[in-house]
Structure 1
Amino acid sequence: MSAYASDYLATEPARDDVDAMEGTLLLEFGAPWCGHCQAAQASIRRLLAGSRNVTHLKVEDGRGRPLGRSLAVRLWPTLVVMRSGMELARVVRPVSDADLEPLRDALARI
């Protein structure tokens, strides 16, 4: 079983709620119609394969969306590893598995 979430959340969580979540989070900011986001899914799926201690939240981002703004998201997809409200690693617009190495390294340290 993988931590990979295939669907975007119906409702964006508040930043305070994200900061209060226990365990390790992988926040993925993007949109279902975004070509860059769609292209990154296979690499993200492989990154999370076998990761049972990670919660993957796909957050549909856009103008006026407070969670993405609070984390200075500007391009999609943006992936952020967080634990206890602290950012551990970030990757913006990955195109290959190698681009996800900073996230893989952060997840391995947990």
Structure 2
Amino acid sequence: MLSDTYSVEQPTRTEIDALAGPALLEFGTGWCGHCRATEAPLAAALAQHRELAHLRVEDGPGRALGRAFRVKLWPTLIFLNDGQEVARLVRPLDSAEIARAFALIAA
């Protein structure tokens, strides 16, 4: 089960770009209804990819990382490989859709 906690401390875009291997960057907030609706399908898909880095970052006005990735709606899931965006899902509700995005970055 995912925690409803999103990290207030944010990595910089440079740190994200320098990530090695596959990773999931998730933007949202703990109080967002859309974010909560995505938790179950995301948890189901993540269960198959426990080895991947998963960064849950709180987004909102004045949050530089969200702006750097042009995040407009929550949750936004950005699938990365070696710091490069491979896929993006906005407000996904289908674990199969999330699993397909994971397949693009998982080894």
> Shorter-chain-normalised TM-score: which range?
0.7 to 0.9
Q: Secondary structure at the match of 2:56?
A: strand
- In 2, distance between residues paired with 1:63 and 1:47? 29
Aligned pair in 2 of structure 1 residues 66, 79: CA closer, same or farther (>3 Å)?
same
- Residue 8 of structure 1 is matched in structure 2 by 6
Indicate which of 44, 63, 69 corresponds to 2:67.
69
* CA distance in 1: counterparts of 2:48 and 2:91, whole angstroms: 23
Q: Distance in 2 between matches of 1:28 and 1:101?
A: 15
Query: Partners in 2 of 1:91 and 1:83 — Cα distance?
Result: 15
Residues 75, 90 of structure 2: 8 Å contact kept: yes
- String of CA shifts for 1:84-109, please: whole Å, max 9, x gaps: 2210110001122244254133134x
Could you tell me how far 1:5 is from its partner in structure 2?
5.3
User: CA offsets, 1:42-93, max 9 Å, x none?
Assistant: 0110111031331011000001111111111100000001122210110001
- Structure 1 unaligned spans of 5+: none
**Same amino acid, percent of matched pairs:** 45
Aligned twin of 1:28:
26
CA distance in 2, matches of 1:69, 1:93: 17
Please say if 1:91 is aligned against 2:92.
Answer: no
Q: Which runs of 5+ in 2 are unaligned?
A: none
User: Using a 3 Å threshold, how does the CA distance of structure 1 residues 20 and 11 change in structure 2: closer, same or farther?
Assistant: same
Aligned CA distance change for structure 1 residues 5 and 24 (closer, same or farther; 3 Å): farther
